[in-house]
Each structure stands twice: as structure tokens, then as C-alpha cells.
Amino acid sequence: MQWLSEKLRRLAVGMILLGSVGLMLSMFICVADVTGTNFFGWPVDGTLEITESTMVLIVFGALAYTQEQRGHIRVELLHGFMSPRVKSFMDVVTHVLAFVFFVLLGWQSISELSYSWEMREATMGSIRFPLYPARFLLTAGTALVIAQLALDVIADLGRMWRGEGPVQMHAPEDTAKVS
């Protein structure tokens, strides 16, 4: 299972790097569009379409890595008062529900990807930008988070069985502090 976890982590990091490139592309094209429109009267064609497509990559590319790092937002009103076994049980329930949600999302995204690919779906903007690459990235990101959630459920069940608490991920250090 460690081998699979490492492979999944590498794929997730790859998706984050790809998402970072998409974010930079989106940022540069938006700056060029605003600058061109306001100062020269020349908007950049396709800005909206490219930005919409890169948003899918940015969001769904980061889901699996964020899950692997246990970085999603949690509300811990009662969590601190529970025993380690109950905390692990709560993680199992949460991860199973998330797994079901993402399986349903993945199932529908495959259907939408298939439909988009068959008809070569494209935007209706000033530039006909194909939509199936963004739908593929949505499906790939969803598949990665499903795999990560499956690994997390297995690990959480083991910890719950042994009576151990959930994995404690450390928050990043505050870099704004002055020593």
C-alpha cells in the first residue's frame, strides 16, 4: 500500500504543477486583457474561455494532494472531546461520505467527457476553445481524489481498529512572525 500511496502522491504533485502552470497562464492572459482593453482598446480574444478551462485544472488538480496532506477544512466542535478511536471513526465516516460523493461526481464526469468528446464540444466565444480537455482534467482529478480517499479509508479503519487517533498533520509555520 505504501508503493501505491507514493505513486498517487507523485501524480497529485504533477496535477498541482500542471494547475500552477494553468494559474500562471490565466493570470498572464487576464493581465494582458485588462491592460490591452484599458490602455490600448485591444482586448485579448478568448480570455474568458481560457480562464474558465484553467479553473477546472486549478481546483480539481489540487484535490488529491490536499486530501493526502489532510489539508481540507474541518470543523472540530466536538472532535477534541472524543477518544482516539472515536476520532478515527469520525474520519472513516467523513472519508466514506466524501468517497461516495466523488464516485458519483466521477461517474457523471465520465459521462460528460464522453458526450463532449463525441460532439467535439467547444465554447461559443470569440475563439472556439474545446471543452473536452477541461472535462478530462475534471475526471482525472476526481479519479485521483477517489483513489486517495480509498487509501485514507483503509488507513483510518486500521487506526480505528487499533484504537489509535487520526493522523496529525502539522500546520505550516507562520512565516510572518518576526524573531
Number of domains composing the chain: 1
Give, in order, the Cα–Cα distances in Å from 56 to each of 17, 37, 108, 139, 164: 14, 26, 15, 10, 37
pLDDT (mean) for 57-81? 85
Distance (Å, whole) CA 168 – CA 137: 30
168: in domain: no
pLDDT (mean) for 12-29? 93
pLDDT in tens, 49-68: 888 889 998 999 899 999 98
52: in domain: yes
pLDDT value at 3 more than 90: no
178: in domain: no
Q: Average pLDDT, whole number, for the chain? A: 88
Report which residue type is found at 127.
I
83: in domain: yes
40: in domain: yes
Q: How distant is the alpha carbon of residue 43 from its chain centre?
A: 31
Domain that holds residue 72: 2-162
- What is the model's pLDDT at position 75? 77
170: in domain: no
Distance (Å, whole) CA 129 – CA 29: 15
105: in domain: yes
